[in-house]
Amino acid sequence: MAFDKIAFRASETPEAQQTLKDLAAKYGDHEVESADVIVAIGGDGLMLQILHENIKFGLPIYGINRGSVGFLMNDLEDNDLKARLASAETGTVHPLSMKATDRDGNTHSALAINEVSLLRETRQTAKLQISVDGKIRMEELLCDGALVATPAGSTAYNLSAHGPILPIDAQLLTLTPISAFRPRRWRGALLPHKAKVRFDVLEADKRPVSAVADHTEIRHVIQVDVAEDREIGLKLLFDKGYSLDERIFNEQFVH
């Protein structure tokens, strides 16, 4: 596929801004509304931001790493960018839909590319009840929190919480506890991507909990429903031979 019209987006770091200036001068810089592809210059934080902004446009996104981590980005190379775009491999990411009810009975909705996480708000541990597809699977989990992550998000907060890494096309979600206190040895679960997860916050007044969908936070929640939104498919482009699945393999076999 040819990508003739490129919309560049960059983080505010000097390195990213210089790269933006150089590439825009060479290839031109189009508005997103008329572009064939978005090239995001920065780190994974910028990529997450662009993915959210791009939901309404549905353009493929190619990342160039000028940040610190860049797991979702490609290396900066001084060669033909359009040729790299034309030969790139595609990975599709489906976000999670979160519906959270707070203690006042208000319902809040948000989308998460990486994960939906529940986090304790005070020194008191959170006490959660977890249901999957309408069946209670864990009566009581005492913890700092818990999260549901997509394959794309499995290498982010989920990995730091010792959750498993998922290939991008795994058709799975990971349910991972954060600093579980009881049951102490519970490491979480792998769920079918169609699974519907519900968290009920027990003793919510004594043990307040926040729900976070990527960067949208709802405080004092009492119930949170999480499910994959298959109606939305976001396309990430990776240099040939260096797809997201290949990076996931490398991450699991790192020495």
- Does 255 score more than 60 pLDDT? no
Angstrom distances, CA of residue 31 to CA of 6, 34, 158, 210, 223: 8, 6, 34, 37, 40
Of the given ranges (27-41, 119-133, 164-178), which has the lowest mean pLDDT? 164-178
pLDDT averaged over the chain?
Answer: 92
Question: 44 an active-site residue?
Answer: yes
**What does the pLDDT look like over 41-82, one tens digit per residue?**
999 889 999 999 999 899 999 999 997 767 789 988 878 999
Taking a C-beta distance cutoff of 8 angstroms, is the pair 65, 75 a contact? yes
Q: Is the dihedral of CA 49, 51, 52, 53 positive or negative?
A: positive
Secondary structure of residue 245 in the 3-state scheme:
helix
Tell me how far apart the alpha carbons of residues 16 and 111 are, in angstroms, rounded to a whole number.
27
User: What domains are there in the chain, each with its CATH number?
Assistant: 6-93+233-252 (3.40.50.10330), 96-228 (2.60.200.30)
Kindly list the strands in the beta sheet with 221-228, ordered across the sheet, starting from the edge strand earlier in the chain: 107-112, 96-102, 221-228, 197-201, 126-132, 135-143
Which residue out of 22, 44, 205, 225 is catalytically annotated?
44
pLDDT at 254: 61
pLDDT at 169: 78
Confidence of residue 244 (pLDDT cuts 50, 70, 90): low
Question: What is the chain's Cα-based Rg?
Answer: 20
**What does the pLDDT look like over 132-182, one tens digit per residue?**
999 999 999 999 999 999 998 998 899 999 999 998 778 999 999 999 999
What contacts 103, CB < 8 A, 6 or more positions away?
204, 205, 220, 221, 222
